[in-house]
Structure 1
Amino acid sequence: MHVIRSLHEITALIPLLKEALPIDVSFAICDREKFIGYWPGERIDLGIRSGQRLNPDEPLARTVRNGLSLKDVVPASFYGYEFVGTAIPLYGEEREIMGGLAVQVRTQAELRGIAEHIADSLSQAQSQLESITSASKELRHFSGQLLNLARQTAGHVGQTEEVVSIVKAVADQTNMLGINASIEAAHAGEKGRGFGIVAGEIRKLSSETVASANTIRGTLQAFRQAMAEMNGSIERMAALAERQSVSSDQIEAFIADIGAMSDRLSQYARRL
C-alpha cells in the first residue's frame, strides 16, 4: 500500500524520475475521476490533458476502482498505438484511495508486425519453393528417363543400319549373280533368252534394292545426327534440372534460416 499525504507529492517527483530512468516512459497521475497530470515521453505521447476523465476500461481506471496494481497491454484502439501500462493505487493517510499512478512504455508492435509480415511472406515463398523443388525433381527424373530412351533409340538406329548394310550386301551379290546369269544366257543363245530376261529382272530388282538401301542409310544418318543433337539437349536439360534442384534445396535452407531469425526477432520484440 502506497500512502501519501497528497497527490501533489507525487507530481513533484515525476520530472526527477523521468530524468533518472534509462528508458523512454510517460507518467500519468489521476484522482478517482480524472487525470491531474501527464508527462509524455519522446516516443510515447498519449495526448492526455489535465482534467481529462478516465476511460473506465483502461488499467489506471480499474486500479483506482478496485485498489489493485495492474500491468497490462493497452491496445491501439485507446490511444492510437499499443503500449504496456502499469498502474498502482495511491492511498491517503486514512487508507482511502486518493488516485493512481500509471507508467507507460511503448511496445515494439511495429517490430512484431514486421517480423510477422516477414514470417507470412516466407511461409508463402516456402510453399512456392516446395512446389518448384518438387517440379524440378520430377523434371530431373523424366529427363533421365528421356535420356535413357534416346540412347536406346540411338542403339536401335545402329542396329537398323547394320541390317541395311546386310541388305545392300545381299543386293550387290544378287546383282553379280544377275550379271553372271546374263552372260551365261548370252552364251546359250536362243535357248537362254528366257533365262536372260529373268536375269535382267534380277539385276533390276537388285539395283532398286541398292538404291532403297542407300536412301534408308541417308535417312538413318540424318536421324542419327538428329538423335545426337537431341541427346546433347537432353543431357544439358538434365544437368540444368540437377543444378536447379540443388539451388532450390539451398534456397529452401536459406528461407528456413530467415524464418528462424524472424521468429527470434518476434520473440525479442515481445520482450521489449
Structure 2
Amino acid sequence: MFPLKNHSKMMVNPKFRSIAKSGGKKMEVLKGQEALQALVGVLPHIVKSLPEDMALYVTDGEKYLQAVEGADLPIGITVGSKVWGKATEKCMVEKRKTTFNVRDGMPFKGVNIPILDENNNSVGTIICATGRKKQQDVNQVAEQLADTLDQMAGAMNEIASGAARLAEVGQALTEKAQLSDKKIAETEVIINSIKSISNQTNLLGLNAAIESARAGEYGRGFGVVAQEIRKLADESKHSTEQVKVIIEAISSAVKNMILSAEESGAISQQQAAAIQENTATIDELRNVGLKLKDFAAKL
C-alpha cells in the first residue's frame, strides 16, 4: 500500500525537511520517509522512558517497520508482520489521528498518528498503545465495591424496617400497658367498694347480734344468722385484701412493662436514626464507587 523500501540505508534528503521556529531558534522537522526512518531508529530509546504498560510501533500502512513493547504489555507484534485491523488504513486515508480499542487477548487502547510528506500525503503511521489491564482492575474493584455497597444498603434497609417495626410494637405495647394500668386503677376502686361494703356488713352483723342477745330466747335464731353474716363479711374482707395484693403486684409489673416499652421505643428510635446516618454514608460511598467506575472507563 505505502511500502518503505530500503529504509535502513536511506539518506536524509534536504527537500523533505521543513524549518520551524521555536523560541527564536531554528528546528528541523522531518517529514515523509525521513520521519519514518528517524522513528524506526529512536523508538527503542523512547520506549525506555515510558510506563511498562505501553508500546510504540511504526508502520508504512501495510506492515510494522518497528515494534517496541513494554514489559507489562507484551502484545506480540513483530517487525515485518502485517498491520492489524483497519485503524491504520483509516488514519492514512483521512490524514488524522484515530483511536481504537482492543479487548481480546491483551487489552489495550491505541492511537494512530499519520506521518505526512511535503505534499501532505500519508507515508506511514506511528502507533502508541496503552494497556487497559489497570483500567479493568479498577473497574472490577469499582463494580465489586458497588455490589458490596448495594448489599450493605439492602441489609441496612431491612434493619431500618425492623427497627421501625420494633418502635411501632413498643409504642403499641406502651399504649396497651397504659390501658391495663387504667383498668387496674378502676379495679382497685371496685375492691375498695367491696371492702367498704364488707365493713358495713360486719357492723350490721354486730348490731344484729346485739339485738338478738337482747331478745333472749326469741332472738336466738336471728343471732345465728347475724353470726354467719359477720363471718361472711370477714371472709369477703380477707378475700378483697388478697385480691388487692395480687392487683398491686400486677400493677407494679404493668408499670415496669410500660417503662421497659418506653425504653425500648427510645432505643429503637436511636437505632433508626443511626441506621439513617449509616445509610446516608453508604449512599455516599456508592456515589464514590460510581465515580470510580466512570473514571476507570475513561482511563
TM-score range, shorter chain: 0.7 to 0.9
Taking structure 1 as the reference length, the TM-score comes to 0.83
Please list every run of 5 or more consecutive structure 2 residues that lacks an aligned counterpart in the other structure.
1-30
Report the more deviating stretch, 150-159 or 94-103: 94-103
The aligned counterpart of 1:25 is: 54
Could you give the per-residue CA deviations for residues 146-168 of structure 1, whole angstroms, max 9, x where no partner exists? 11221221122122112212211
Check conservation: 1:56, 1:62, Cα contact below 8 A.
Answer: no
1:162 and 2:189 equivalent?
A: yes
1:115 and 2:115 equivalent?
A: no
The aligned counterpart of 2:178 is: 151
The residue type equivalent to 1:70 in the other structure is T
Rate the CA distance shift 1:121–1:61 in 2: closer, same or farther, 3 A.
Answer: farther
Taking structure 2 as the reference length, the TM-score comes to 0.76
The aligned counterpart of 1:12 is: 41
Report the more deviating stretch, 104-113 or 48-57: 48-57
Could you give the per-residue CA deviations for residues 199-256 of structure 1, whole angstroms, max 9, x where no partner exists? 1221122122112212211211221122122223212211210111011111011111
Rate the CA distance shift 1:215–1:52 in 2: closer, same or farther, 3 A.
Answer: farther
Rate the CA distance shift 1:91–1:194 in 2: closer, same or farther, 3 A.
Answer: same
1:103 and 2:128 equivalent?
A: yes
Per the TM alignment, residue 85 of structure 1 is displaced from its structure 2 partner at its CA by 0.8
The aligned counterpart of 2:211 is: 184
Q: How many residues align?
A: 267
| Higher Rg | 2
Per the TM alignment, residue 171 of structure 1 is displaced from its structure 2 partner at its CA by 0.5
The residue type equivalent to 1:104 in the other structure is A
CA-atom RMSD, angstroms? Answer: 2.9
The aligned counterpart of 1:73 is: 101
2:127 match: secondary structure: strand
The residue type equivalent to 2:101 in the other structure is V
Q: Distance in 2 between matches of 1:260 and 1:95?
A: 48
Please list every run of 5 or more consecutive structure 1 residues that lacks an aligned counterpart in the other structure.
none
The aligned counterpart of 1:173 is: 200
Per the TM alignment, residue 8 of structure 1 is displaced from its structure 2 partner at its CA by 3.8
Q: Distance in 2 between matches of 1:221 and 1:234?
A: 20
1:202 and 2:229 equivalent?
A: yes
1:127 and 2:154 equivalent?
A: yes
Higher relative contact order (CA 8 A, sep 6+): 1
Check conservation: 1:175, 1:202, Cα contact below 8 A.
Answer: yes
Could you give the per-residue CA deviations for residues 87-121 of structure 1, whole angstroms, max 9, x where no partner exists? 24556799886654311112322112212221222
The residue type equivalent to 1:207 in the other structure is D
Report the more deviating stretch, 143-152 or 245-254: 143-152
1:212 and 2:239 equivalent?
A: yes
The residue type equivalent to 1:203 in the other structure is R
2:33 match: secondary structure: coil
